[in-house]
């Protein structure tokens, strides 16, 4: 992991709290996996990424081990991450978009939208983590559903994400301390 | 699914509530998946089996679809099932043993034991569902950990499971209504 600390030489615009860390070679998924590992290590939360479901077509055996000789990736009907934090059920999805003005709704499947509604209705904490323009936002499931219910658009405008979302600042250990935002808005 | 209702012809021992349903051709995993689907359909709980994690060694592409040409099954470090019920985080593992006198502890890996301890410590509901002698028991994570902490044995005696566990009776729709037991002992 290479961390480049970009400082603005003008002291007026330089702010310690707003130092920008660029985590090169690490994508959103890696940063979240590292955060979850960190939370597990310090016994703060128990959150895992679910394995991608696989359809297994052909197997063979080698030294008593089952080998997959043909398989394919299936769609998850839930969100990718779930777990337990401060006695609460937590469930979220993380997506990166390279669009600069909006987040395409094609990123979230129909089943997943239903899942988000259900989790909220049953008292769980449910949100999206969206990386857009290299900034990472937590968007509450409630605000996501609100948006879908009130518009026929096929994407979420960046302005909406900026307005309703909460920026998760880059840091060190963990790279993305998203539970800080969860504490702030849910607990 | 073939359901055989075994009635005892002696009315003194015949009890409607204790009818025995034998779900032939359905194993424990199928019965639990059906129960979870049923709970989802009636909007009672959101509980899923996690996909088995796969190590992907070789992929190819066919009509824009990613195909796995070589992969292997990995061990889950968590338990197989988790989800949300009545606002609570729920997490469990289901195992069948063909042993008649004990449940071999080799069924539950070291990482999973640590996971069970963590989930309990963080306020989640955590248990094992064990099928032994064709009877299905729910054994609380707390009682499982107690047993491990107080014995050096490599298996849990059937007498302990009968004493501490809660029998989940076979039924129809769902085949195994394990949340009824969860209601009784946790909520």
The number of helix segments (H) and strand segments (E) in chain B equals 5, 12
Confidence of residue B6 (pLDDT cuts 50, 70, 90): very low
| pLDDT, tens digit, 9 for 90 and up, residues B132-182 | 999 999 999 999 999 999 998 999 999 999 999 999 999 999 999 999 999
Contact B54 A43 (CB under 8 A): no
**What integer pLDDT is reported at residue B26 of this predicted model?**
65
> Does B45 touch chain A if contact means CB atoms closer than 8 Å?
yes
Cβ–Cβ below 8 Å for B54 and A54: yes
> What is the set of domains in chain B, with CATH numbers?
25-186 (3.40.1350.10)
Q: What single-letter DSSP state applies at residue B2?
A: E
Category of B29 on φ-ψ map: left (φ > 0), alpha (ψ -120 to 50) or beta: alpha
- Average pLDDT, stretch B91-106? 96
Nearest to B123 by CA among B78, B77, B86, B88: B88
Contact B142, B124 (CB under 8 A): no
d(CA A22, CA A5): 7
Q: Quote the CA–CA distance of B168 and A71 in Å, as a whole number.
A: 35
d(CA B98, CA B104): 10
Of the candidates B68, B70, B119, the beta carbon closest to that of A46 is on: B119
**Which tens digits make up the pLDDT trace of B35-81?**
999 999 999 999 999 999 999 999 999 888 899 999 999 988 899 99
The phi, psi pair for A148, rounded to 5°, reads -60, -40
Q: Do A52 and B50 touch (CB under 8 A)?
A: no
Beta strand B125-132 with B81-85: parallel, antiparallel or unpaired? unpaired
Considering only CB atoms, A123 lies closest to which of B50, B78, B87, namely B87
pLDDT tens string A78-120:
999 999 999 999 999 999 999 999 999 999 999 999 999 999 9
A25 and chain B in contact, CB less than 8 A: no
Given an 8 Å threshold on Cβ–Cβ distance, is B122 in contact with A54? no
Residues of A in contact with B91 (CB under 8 A): 84
Q: What's the pLDDT at A12?
A: 33
Q: Which stretches of chain A drop beneath a pLDDT of 50?
A: 1-25
pLDDT exceeds 80 at position B16: no
Please check whether residue B72 touches A, CB under 8 A.
yes
- pLDDT surpassing 50 at residue B15: no
């Amino acid at each position: 992991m290479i961390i480049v600390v970009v400082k603005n030489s003008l002291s007026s615009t330089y702010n310690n709290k707003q130092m920008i860390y660029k985590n090169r070679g690490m994508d959103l998924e890696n940063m979240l996996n590292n955060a979850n590992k960190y939370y597990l290590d310090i016994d703060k939360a128990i959150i895992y990424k679910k394995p991608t479901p696989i359809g297994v077509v052909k197997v063979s055996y080698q030294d008593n081990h089952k080998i997959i000789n043909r398989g394919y990736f299936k769609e998850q009907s839930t969100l990718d991450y779930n777990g337990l934090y401060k006695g609460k059920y937590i469930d979220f999805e993380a997506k990166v978009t390279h669009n600069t003005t909006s987040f395409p709704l094609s990123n979230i499947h129909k089943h997943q939208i239903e899942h988000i509604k259900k989790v909220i209705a049953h008292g769980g904490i449910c949100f999206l983590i969206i990386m857009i323009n290299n900034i990472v936002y937590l968007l509450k499931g409630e605000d996501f559903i609100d948006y879908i219910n009130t518009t026929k658009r096929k994407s979420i405008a960046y302005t909406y994400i900026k307005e309703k979302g909460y920026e998760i600042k880059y840091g060190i250990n963990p790279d993305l301390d998203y539970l800080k935002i969860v504490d702030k808005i849910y607990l």
